[in-house]
Amino acid sequence: MLGGQIPVVALTLRHDRLDNFWFAFRHELIHVQKHLKGSHLFIADNLDDKTRSSREQREADNGEREALIPTGEWERSAVRVRPTVENARALADKLRIHPAIVAGRARFEKNDWRLLTRLLGAKGAVRQCFEN
């Protein structure tokens, strides 16, 4: 940031799931790293907007996807082809990440938001990590 300013990242808990939280948080951190500068000091994302096509949004989405599950690992993983709980846990163990992150990636890639719901944690999984 310029002039010693400290960036602020604000997230909602509307989709109170671990996979969504980590995707959105890392996505916003990539914006802070790559896109906040000069006169461009504010970015408001709407992750429900399926028409997001700006270069900045693509960079943040792709950067986040690569950060925890690199493309090579994803392409070689069994969960990419067969999204089972066992395959998702195996990739999560290999990459030392929470299985919910793998489940979220599988759900996104397959465009099937019913996949692997067992791995996403209890409803309110993120909210319970923060004090009221």
pLDDT in tens, 49-88: 555 567 888 888 888 888 899 999 999 999 999 999 999 9
Domain that holds residue 14: 2-129
d(CA 104, CA 82) in angstroms, rounded, equals 14
Label residue 71 exposed, middle or buried (CB < 10 Å: 0-12, 13-18, 19+). Answer: exposed
Q: Structural domain tally of the chain?
A: 1
Q: What is the mean pLDDT of the chain?
A: 84
CB 31 within 8 A of CB 43: yes
Q: What is the pLDDT of residues 11-31, one digit of tens each?
A: 888 888 888 888 888 888 888
d(CA 68, CA 70) in angstroms, rounded, equals 6
